Amino acid sequence: MTRIITLTPNPALDYAVTADFVEPNRKLRCRDPQMHPGGGGINVARSCSRLGAHTLAIFTAGGVYGDALVKSLAIENVPMRMIPITGETRLAFHVKNDREDNEYRFNLPGAKMNEDEIARFLTAIREEAEPGDFVVASGSLPPDAPPDLWAQAAHVAKDQGARFVLDSISGLDAALAEGVYMLRQNEHEYEAISGKTLTWPGEIEAYAKDLVAKGQVQAMVVSHGGDGSLMATKDGVFTAPSFKVRASSAVGAGDSFVGGLLTALSRGDSETEALKFGMAAAGATRMSEGTALFDPADVKKLMASTPA
């Protein structure tokens, strides 16, 4: 059975609150605190687990926040392999501003990884990945991490016959030089490779097809907010529109998209259906408060509805 293995070397403990207003030099009284495990790969694994996929989260953890991260993942019954580190897992703080109906997101720097910790992280990939698995590198790299860490992870995953998926703007050049199975970028991230803003969908389709033609990726996925998403492969370009929802928070929506997309692909769905499932997972997460991910029932409802 295909497994979706996620990699998070720079996870976070997500903490979210709501404030009546946000102003400088004022005491802001907050309410409705929420705490969830966070970081790109961890959220992808949480999404896959909720959707019934066979998954494993490989991540680092250290200190008080690291302990809380592990406990919160265990509560959600997400299969995990934790790599202990000497540093403190970072905190990500989110404040919803009721007055202006927007949110502020503060991401603290993560803990550095020493050479031994990096070696154990790569060893975990080697020991866990099997032929046909998806190995998903997601989120940022820790401070002072080797810029080719994702490339090293891709090399290890490919040696095991797994399909390496990159969902990060960190270490892009080295990873693409190594070659990855799939690259996912959103409407803000693709410019790091293209070097410019492209129009949707025509120029972005051409850009995605070009990356595939160059052999840097086998599948290029771009999620473009309310416009929808697309995937370019050697077989063509596939698209899916977004779902119109009453949005509460954007935290975790991109990770939910990746989780939904890969869950659908792992069970043999077509590219178009997989994109649609990813968009439904992202839309359902946008309906959730604070740092909470989607309710699977909402994903099911969206899949039965008509996209925007």
Identify residue 222 by its one-letter amino acid code. Answer: V
pLDDT, the chain, mean: 94
The domain locations on the chain are 4-304
Q: What's the pLDDT score for residue 35?
A: 92
- Up-side HSE of residue 264: CA atoms within 13 Å toward CB? 21
Q: What's the pLDDT score for residue 276?
A: 97
Per-residue model confidence as pLDDT tens digits over 179-219:
999 999 988 888 877 888 889 999 999 999 999 999 989 99
- Rounded to 5 degrees, φ, ψ at 272 are -65, -45
Whether pLDDT at 291 is above 80: no
Whether pLDDT at 13 is above 90: yes
Are the C-beta atoms of residues 90 and 111 closer than 8 Å to each other? Answer: yes
Contacts of 244 (CB under 8 A, 6+ apart): 307, 308
Catalytic residue among 14, 133, 167, 255: 255
Q: What's the pLDDT score for residue 308?
A: 64
| pLDDT mean over 52-70 | 97
Are the C-beta atoms of residues 221 and 183 closer than 8 Å to each other? Answer: yes
d(CA 147, CA 264): 31
269 is catalytic: no
d(CA 242, CA 223): 9
Per-residue model confidence as pLDDT tens digits over 132-164:
999 999 999 999 999 999 999 999 999 999 999
Q: Which two tokens stand for residue 180?
A: 């990855």
Confidence of residue 20 (pLDDT cuts 50, 70, 90): very high
The β-bridge partners of 102 are 97
The percent helix, strand, coil of the chain (3-state, each to 5) is 35, 25, 35
Q: Which two tokens stand for residue 300?
A: 């099911």
Which CATH entry fits the domain spanning 4-304: 3.20.20.140, 1.10.3430.10, 3.40.1190.20, 3.40.50.11540?
3.40.1190.20
CA angle, residues 41, 307, 232, in degrees to nearest 5: 55
DSSP 8-state assignment for residue 251: T
DSSP 8-state assignment for residue 111: -
Confidence of residue 265 (pLDDT cuts 50, 70, 90): very high
Q: What's the pLDDT score for residue 292?
A: 81
Q: Which two tokens stand for residue 170?
A: 């960190």
Q: What percent of the chain has pLDDT over 90?
A: 84
